[in-house]
């Protein structure tokens, strides 16, 4: 699954770069998402495979903190990118005549950079707070990756401030980006339903159906994981949902975007035919 994730997302990046018909803001954001998925899974899965195989069951304190920071930084960046992609589809479908002038290369570049910067900056607060925790008991993490829940459960100091900070950030990042995405799709669906032509409705919906499928899977799992007042919940349930969030979703993304997107399928056919 890790190899499929890397190869699938690399294929999308190469396809978008080599096919001029895909040189648009929508596929520029998709390239950013694919690039993010490669690194997101690379931070998690190789270490997880080492744990499963029994060859690498330990991790240093600094290494654990770094893994936690990168996992959540990439995760936060994905929320922002998905919200930006929803806004892009909103402009394309609701304002088709003005889309090219509004969503130009400058704006799309700024939105992508802002998504990466916000994702890596917002998680700095809990990361710094966690680095100051004290541990006086067991040093065994009941998980296949280092996350905030694991640190809180192992700590013998008061973690209320960290839990509160993590909860507030979860509300801001997850529910905030979810609100933007949901609002964009309310306007998108409303606009599509007002179209007189059934063919036009189908074409408009096909341009955003892939993104909508990814949004449903991603937000469904992550809202369960992180938007909760207390982190001291069942880690067994958390681990199961984390598998869906960190392993299953990244490997499905390339297939969702290729199988449900006519432009990508046609670009693949042209590339194969040319070769």
Kindly state whether residue 263 falls inside one of the protein's structural domains. yes
Measure Cα distances from 4 to 44, 65, 74 in Å: 15, 27, 19
In tens digits, the chain (275 residues) has pLDDT values of 889 899 989 988 988 888 888 888 988 998 999 999 999 999 999 998 888 888 778 888 889 889 999 999 999 999 999 999 989 989 988 898 899 999 999 999 999 999 999 999 999 988 888 888 888 877 888 888 888 877 888 888 888 888 888 888 888 898 889 899 889 888 988 888 887 677 767 766 766 776 777 777 777 767 666 655 454 455 666 777 777 777 777 887 777 776 656 666 676 667 666 65
Residue 6 lies in a domain: yes
C-alpha 112/C-alpha 85 separation (Å) is 10
In a domain, 104, yes or no: yes
Tell me the C-alpha distance between 214 and 82, whole Å: 9
Q: Could you count the other beta carbons within 10 Å of the beta carbon of residue 274?
A: 8
Q: What is the domain extent for residue 168?
A: 2-267
Work out how many domains the chain is built from and give that number. Answer: 1
pTM: 0.85
CATH code assigned at 145: 1.20.1070.10
Q: Is residue 274 part of a domain?
A: no
238 domain residue, yes or no: yes
Mind listing the pLDDT tens digit for each residue in 153-205? 888 888 888 888 888 888 889 888 989 988 988 898 888 888 767 776 776 67
Residue 124 placed within a domain? yes
As a whole number of angstroms, the distance between CA 94 and CA 73 comes to 32
For the stretch 105-130, pLDDT in tens is: 999 999 999 999 999 999 998 888 88
Identify whether the C-beta of residue 264 lies closer than 8 Å to the C-beta of residue 258.
yes
Phi and psi at residue 145, to the nearest 5°:
-150, 165
In a domain, 273, yes or no: no
In a domain, 91, yes or no: yes
CB 192 within 8 A of CB 204: yes
Q: At what angle do helices 198-206 and 176-193 cross, to 10 degrees?
A: 160
Question: How far apart (Å, rounded) are the C-alpha atoms in residues 235 and 153?
Answer: 10
For 117-157, give the DSSP string: HHHHHHTHHHHHHHHT----S----SSSS--HHHHHHH--S
Q: Residues 6 or more apart from 257 whose CB is under 8 A from it?
A: 12, 30, 210, 214, 264
């Amino acid at each position: 699954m890790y190899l499929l994730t890397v190869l699938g997302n690399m294929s999308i990046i190469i396809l978008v770069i080599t096919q001029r018909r895909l040189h648009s803001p929508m596929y520029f954001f998709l390239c950013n998402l694919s690039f993010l998925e490669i690194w997101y899974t690379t931070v998690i899965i190789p270490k997880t495979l080492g744990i499963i195989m029994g060859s690498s069951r330990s991790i240093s304190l600094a290494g654990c903190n770094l893994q936690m920071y990168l996992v959540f930084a990439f995760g936060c960046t994905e929320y922002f990118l998905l919200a930006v992609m929803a806004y892009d589809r909103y402009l394309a479908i609701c304002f088709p005549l003005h889309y090219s002038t509004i969503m130009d290369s400058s704006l799309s570049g700024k939105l992508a950079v802002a998504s990466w910067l916000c994702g890596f900056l917002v998680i700095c607060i809990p990361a710094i707070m966690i680095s100051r925790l004290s541990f006086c008991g067991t040093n065994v993490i009941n998980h296949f990756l280092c996350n905030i829940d694991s640190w809180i459960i192992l700590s013998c100091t008061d973690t209320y401030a960290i839990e509160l900070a993590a909860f507030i950030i979860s509300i801001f990042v997850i529910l905030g980006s979810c609100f933007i995405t949901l609002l964009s799709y309310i306007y998108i669906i409303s606009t599509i339903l007002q179209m007189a032509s059934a063919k036009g409705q189908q074409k408009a919906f096909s341009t955003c159906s892939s993104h909508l499928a990814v949004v449903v899977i991603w937000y469904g799992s992550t809202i369960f994981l992180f938007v909760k007042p207390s982190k001291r919940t069942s880690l067994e349930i958390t681990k199961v949902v984390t598998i869906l969030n960190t392993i299953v979703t990244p490997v499905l993304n390339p297939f969702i975007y290729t199988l449900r997107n006519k432009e990508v399928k046609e670009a693949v056919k042209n590339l194969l035919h040319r070769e």
